[in-house]
Amino acid sequence: MTVIVRDVRAPDAEGFARVRRAALPFMLATAEQLVFDWAHAHPDSHYRPLVAATEDGGIIGTAQVGIAHDAPGPGIGYANVYVDPAHLGRGAGTLLLRAAEEHLVERGARTLYSWVLDEPAHHAWAERRGYAPSRSAYFLRLDLTRAELPPLQAPPAGVELLTAEDFAADPRPLFELDAATTADEPGDVGTELDDYAHWRAAIWEHPLFDRALTTVAVVDGVPAAFSAAQTDGLGRYNSGMTGTAPAFRGRGLAKLAKNTSLHRARAAGCTEAFTGNDTGNEPMLAINEWFGYEVGAREVRYVRTVG
């Protein structure tokens, strides 16, 4: 059966989400989220989602393709390709990657990154196409119906635990905290958050972003640490980002915020919690082990230089 690669269309959102959930069950994916993401992609990212479809219109593969516009250096592109496990071996991944690479190179990318699952067949697939491993990360899962979360702790003197909703009138302090913690997040592509308007439109208003469960530790009136929460309405919770501003590190504030958020999530009816960690981020891995998270899968980021 012929496989066709084409640009995504709005009606494809449910099929796109279905493939993502099948290939990556440790990440949240909804049709509403995808439509939002496609509409709010930064112009400088040249974002181009692609699908691989069969002749009858069934979607069997997806690709998220774009330029890392918020990286400190230019010329970095990403092409994350995922195929429905029930349809592997039909060439969909190869066709998606080829179209993605052409799009990125035409827009000036010279370094291409792609995440693949840590399985021999996936490694071989990437390496045959000229990619080499550069770093790795874990998908972690916590069963909130069975987990014995650490007891809730009263915050120390001078520390207040708020939610993102408490900043609804002016979320800029959370943007500044996000930018400070993201700046030194482990990874081989850095990120600089400096566009408040885009952050507010694409992150603060994101349909998965749960302001009521996102917890912020405020020290003497200053937001110091946070644990961002995402939920999909299906009982699944994801820690979008947990971090502490440099001046407040070493005081256990991130752990305090995340524990509070997880307790709130369980009370709100969430049954599964997910998060991801760079395999070299020992401090956060230790914290997540303390919560009871277990490794669900490992992904490897592959890189290829072109031109």
Of 51, 84, 109, the one marking the end of a domain is 109
Question: In terms of domains, do 104 and 164 share one?
Answer: no
β-pair type (236-244, 272-278): parallel
pLDDT at residue 128 in the model: 97
pLDDT at residue 1 in the model: 67
Question: In terms of domains, do 156 and 281 share one?
Answer: yes
Contact 132, 261 (CB under 8 A): no
Q: For residue 33, what is the domain's CATH number?
A: 3.40.630.30
Of 109, 127, 161, the one marking the end of a domain is 109
Question: In terms of domains, do 170 and 88 share one?
Answer: no
CA distance linking residue 225 with residue 216, whole number of Å: 6
pLDDT at residue 283 in the model: 82
Which residues in the chain show pLDDT less than 50?
Answer: 189
* Whether the predicted model's global pTM rises above the 0.75 cut: yes
CB neighbours of 20 closer than 8 A, spacing ≥ 6? 27, 29, 62, 82
CB neighbours of 104 closer than 8 A, spacing ≥ 6? 46, 65, 66, 67, 77, 79, 112
- Which residue range is the domain that position 194 belongs to? 142-298
pLDDT at residue 191 in the model: 57
Question: In terms of domains, do 240 and 288 share one?
Answer: yes
Question: In terms of domains, do 98 and 151 share one?
Answer: no
- 81 pairs with which residues across the strands? 63
Is the residue at 123 inside a domain? Answer: no
Question: In terms of domains, do 293 and 203 share one?
Answer: yes
pLDDT at residue 111 in the model: 97
- 6 pairs with which residues across the strands? 51
CA distance linking residue 300 with residue 279, whole number of Å: 10
Residue range 58-114, pLDDT digits in tens = 999 999 999 998 888 889 999 999 999 999 999 999 999 999 999 999 999 999 999
Residue range 133-153, pLDDT digits in tens = 999 999 999 999 999 999 998
Question: In terms of domains, do 200 and 293 share one?
Answer: yes
Question: In terms of domains, do 191 and 239 share one?
Answer: yes
Question: In terms of domains, do 39 and 186 share one?
Answer: no
pLDDT at residue 183 in the model: 73
Question: In terms of domains, do 146 and 103 share one?
Answer: no
pLDDT at residue 240 in the model: 85
pLDDT at residue 110 in the model: 96
Is the residue at 8 inside a domain? Answer: yes
Is the residue at 127 inside a domain? Answer: no
